[in-house]
Amino acid sequence: MNPSADLAQRAQQMLADPRRGREEFAPDFQAVTLQGQPVALKQFAGKILVLDFWATWCPPCRASVPELKELVRKYPDRVALLSVSGDKDDAAWQDFVAKKQMTWLQVRDADHHMGKLFQVNAFPTYLVIDGDGILQKRIVGLNPQESVVHKLKALLETIVKPE
């Protein structure tokens, strides 16, 4: 009769929104971007959020940068991209982001808090979270025959509401 604070909070959330019992909701998170801005899941309410878990030492992650740029260009107002780097070397991470002109939100997850929170065990991993906070898709790794944008395109077209 004395549940942990985490269990009590989840029970309250399910009572407030019974869909939480049927759907996989993204965990709340808080982080700080490369530019020093705080960022949290609640900021993306009503938008599609794509989380990109990657690292500079991961060849498929580096290869996906042009596709991610295309994703940002294609859905500038309806889809938000947040790249979460597992790099330990802050200078290498910042240098890579600058050289590749990765202008979207960037977070370095040196302590792997975000990776653990979202149960990420491999790079790259892409998570698509809809505007209600429901985890719609998890894509792990890259397939050379099928681009990340191609994999996400059909899903995004079904969940991104036309303007």
Is 155 assigned a catalytic role? Answer: no
Strand 79-85 and strand 135-140: the pairing is unpaired
Classify residue 25 by its DSSP letter: B
CA distance linking residue 120 with residue 114, whole number of Å:
8
CA distance linking residue 65 with residue 118, whole number of Å:
21
Which element (helix H / strand E) includes 79?
strand 79-85
CA distance linking residue 29 with residue 117, whole number of Å:
8
User: Which one is catalytic: 41, 55, 61, 79?
Assistant: 61
User: Which one is catalytic: 58, 71, 107, 152?
Assistant: 58
Q: What's the distance, CA 15 to chain centroid?
A: 26
Is 58 assigned a catalytic role? Answer: yes
Q: Enumerate the active-site residues.
A: 58, 61
